[in-house]
Structure formats: C-alpha cells, structure tokens
Amino acid sequence: MTEPTDIQPVDENKLIAERREKLKALRGQGVAFPNDFKMDAFTGDLQAEFADVEKWTAEAIEALGRQVKVAGRIMLKRDQGKVAFVQMQDVNGRIQLFIHQGTVGEDTYKAFKGWDMGDIVGAEGTLMRTRTGELSVKVEKLRLLTKSLRPLPDKHHGMADVEQRYRQRYVDLIVTEDARRTFAQRSRIIGFIRKWLEAEPRRFMEVETPMMHVIPGGAAARPFVTHHNALDMDLYLRIAPELYLKRLVVGGFDRVYEINRNFRNEGVSTRHNPEFTMLELYQAYVTYTEIMDITEGLIRETAQNVIGSTKLMWDGVEIDVGPSFRRWSMEDSVLELNPEIRREELRDRDAMAAHAKRLGCQVKADFGWGRLLLEIFEKTVEHTLIQPTFITDHPVEVSPLARENDTNPGITDRFELFINAKEIANGFSELNDPEDQAARFMAQVEAKEHGDDEAMHFDADYIRALEVGLPPTGGLGVGIDRLVMLLTGSSSIRDVLLFPYMRPEA
C-alpha cells in the first residue's frame, strides 16, 4: 500500500505561465528589463574582506558605514511580515539582503513580495552583520533587473539528472557550486600554464594557427569535413596544429605554443569529446628528454600553484605529482607484465602476432611487430599506470612524426604520459629528415588506401618546409581537458567542458 503524502508534483508549465503573467504586468509598468543599474561590489570579495568576525563585529561594520551596490540572482527568500531575508548570488559568492518595508518603501516591498526565486535583482545599501553573525546588506534601494520565467530546480535536490546538467549548463552553474568551482579552476589552470610557459627561462611565444586545413595532419585521427562555397573545395577541421607549429620553428620562432581547439570525428566517452582543447609546444635544440622535464614541471607547478598541493584525488585514487615521474620504455613494460614474452620475440612479427591473439588483442594482416607491441601494451600495461609514468621509446610504425633513435632501429624518441591509466600527454624528438618524413607519409597513404580512416595524408608543403630546414626540435601535446580532470578530480570529460557534445533533444 502506498503511503499518503502531502507533497504534490510541481506543474512547471503552470509556474511558467504565472511568471509570464507577472512579466506582462511589468511590461505595462514601463521598462521590464532595465539595464542602468551599476554594481560596485562582488559578494565573494565582501565576504572575504569581512571574514574576521572578531575584528569586524556588528558594531565595527556599523561604524564603518560602508555603502555597496550589489547585483545577482535570488536563491533563497524568507518573508517575515514587514521584514524579508534574501540569499543573493553573483559570480563569486552569496550575500544576504536584509529588506525592511520601512526602509525600501511600501510600494517596493509589495512588489518584491511577488518576485520569484531565480529573478535577478540590484540592491543598494549599507553593510551590516545580523544577530546570527551573517554579513548582510541592509537594503535601501531594490530593483528587479531580470524576470526569470523558468523556475530553478528544487534547492534540496539540485539537478539530479546528469544529462540535464550537461544540456542546461546555464542552470547547472546557477545551482551547483562544485560546477562553478571546477570551471573557475579550469580558467585559472589555463591562465597559469600560459604564464609558466612564457616566463624565464622558458620564454615560449603563444601563436595561432589555422583551424580549417586543406590537408588534415599532425595526428592519426578521422577528421570532420566541411565545404568552402566560394572556393568550391572541401576543408578539414583541425585534428592537430602540429605541422603548422613546426613550420614556424622552420621560420625561426624557436619556442612556440598554442592552446587550441581540435576536432576529431571519433566516439564519445568519459575521456573523449569530438572537440577538445590541447596545448602543443615546440622547442628547438632539445630532445624528448628535455620535453619530458618540461611536461613534468608544468604539471607539478600547476598543481602546486592553482590547486595548492601536488597530492590529488582522482576517481578515489590518490595521485602524487610531486615526486619525479617514472620513465619506462614500452618494451620493458610489456616484458615485465607479460613474462611469457621473451625479449628476442619483441621484433619477431609472427611471435608477437601469436602473443597478441592469445591475449585477445586486435591483429590485422598489415600490423607489423611495432603495432602489435602497442596493442599488447594497451591490453596489458596501460590500465596499471596509476602514478605518473612516461612510457618511452615507441615503435616507428605507430609514430609517423617522431625521430627514429640513432642506436635502436625501429624505435623512436617518443613518450606518452599516463596518470591513473589515462593518457595525459604525448611528445617526442621531432623527425626533421625530409626524405624519411616523405617515406613515412607514403606509408600512411598506403595504410589509408587499405582502409585505415585515421592514417595521415601526404603533405607536400610540410615536406618542402622540412627541406628548408627544421632544427633539432622537441614537441609536446597535452590534453588540457584531461589535465583539468586530474587537477579537479573529475571523473568525466563532460564535467570539465562547459558545453560537451550531446545528441539533439527529442
């Protein structure tokens, strides 16, 4: 038997209709959406300034006589006859408005009583502290600036529907403090990265490169295709800025970086979004070893300065980016976690194919030993890499833009950084031999002809740039979204993207 309840379901359509009637009445009174209110204080700044309750007693604040003009959204409203208390929220916090009919006037107070949660108001008055110790504004003038036509979610439950949070991020940001904190931290993270890269002794220069490419390049990924009507030609949304940035190094800009939007026509998951943010940088006259040092320093310094600690919690696991990151070759990692594979078998294509099949890895006829090594690594090693680990020395076969090692044929001077089993960064000593690069492009073209949608195109202009001369260079790509996930402890990439990709609503 169902227990009786006094709680009735809210008819949202009815509430919206009531609010529309209120807006209609406002229109009849004059300007319904005024824009002449000028605020002069933020609530969070006021709360921080007067946080010391022993110094800033009610008497001390009253003696100060501090006048403020604040504006924000009504989040809570308590009407007690001729006195009302409102929790008003702006960009960086909340403050209480103390509203007395005798102070604001009977007409204003009567109008205020008809205002709703979610309405945006402007208030002018004097700072005070209530008997309960809460910093407040004793309101002298009060105005309705924006009438909200849609009710906010219930204050006790918030936005329980995760998909609704992503679709209506504007509401999520209003009612979910954690969401506001995450995106404020994201902004600070990116700002710190820029300052860190441009500071001495690094001295990187920020640049911008095209987002529409005639030839997609710089990564192995399926591109999005668009069409330029005036030129009657197809263009590709950028999958990576790499080849353009290295052209700039050819041109003499020895240290360049770009924080950019990339677009890859791939699946959606907790770690993938079709458009995402990357940091890419290139520095002349260094190897991938120095690039690993930069990567490690960047992550450690960002955590320390933005989050306040090098110890982070991510998916229930404590990650410490303070100690030196482990550097482990791909071959050694596979051998350690797969004792049945012998070192002499690593370059034996047939032996690696047999091991890959035994382990349930993907095996195709055109996979060489290098691709099979990667498949086995991804199957047996990647999920174990919890603390920060650089996996180094990737096969040439799966690294078409990386420089081959001088003493270890078939292996490149390349690394990928894994934290909590997720790839965070990818870097290498850049391939600057134009003839070797041309041959690798041709191998990619052949792979594409055999059905590999993610293989690269042949970029003749990039080869021409290499023929002009690319100095010895190290390069790095860092997934900003995943880095923010790490630093904020977010489980899904959608939690760190303001507007993640969503299927259209039915």
The candidate with the shortest Cα–Cα distance to 61, out of 125, 145, 14, is: 125
CB 144 within 8 A of CB 121: yes
For 426, phi then psi, to 5°, come to -145, 130
The candidate with the shortest Cα–Cα distance to 280, out of 193, 201, 199, is: 193
Residue 78 C-beta-side C-alpha neighbours within 13 Å:
6
Query: Is 416 annotated among the ligand-binding residues?
Result: yes
CB within 8 Å of 482: residues ≥ 6 apart? 271, 422, 423, 424, 493
The candidate with the shortest Cα–Cα distance to 220, out of 392, 460, 471, 477, is: 477
d(CA 98, CA 110): 15
Find out whether the peptide bond into 201 is cis, omega within 30 degrees of 0. Answer: yes
Q: Which residues of 439-465 are buried (b: 16+ CB within 10 A; e: fewer)?
A: ebbeebeebeeeebebbbbebeebeeb
Handedness of CA 229, 234, 240, 242 (dihedral sign): negative
The candidate with the shortest Cα–Cα distance to 90, out of 169, 166, 173, is: 173
CA 188 to chain centre: 11
Give, in degrees to the nearest 5, the angle at Cα 105 between 100 and 109.
65
d(CA 69, CA 97): 11
d(CA 476, CA 311): 24
The candidate with the shortest Cα–Cα distance to 116, out of 251, 38, 22, is: 22
What six digits make up the tokens of 178? 């954690």
What six digits make up the tokens of 104? 């604001």
Q: Is 314 helix (H, G, I), strand (E, B) or coil?
A: strand
State which amino acid sits at residue 368: G
For 183, phi then psi, to 5°, come to -75, -25
Helices 288-302 and 177-198: crossing angle in degrees, nearest 10, is 140
User: In terms of DSSP bridges, do strands 135-146 and 93-100 run parallel, antiparallel, or are they unpaired?
Assistant: parallel
What six digits make up the tokens of 166? 């992503």
The sheet that has 233-237: what strands, in order across it?
212-213, 233-237, 225-228
Binding residues: 416, 423
Binding residues for Mg(2+): 416, 423
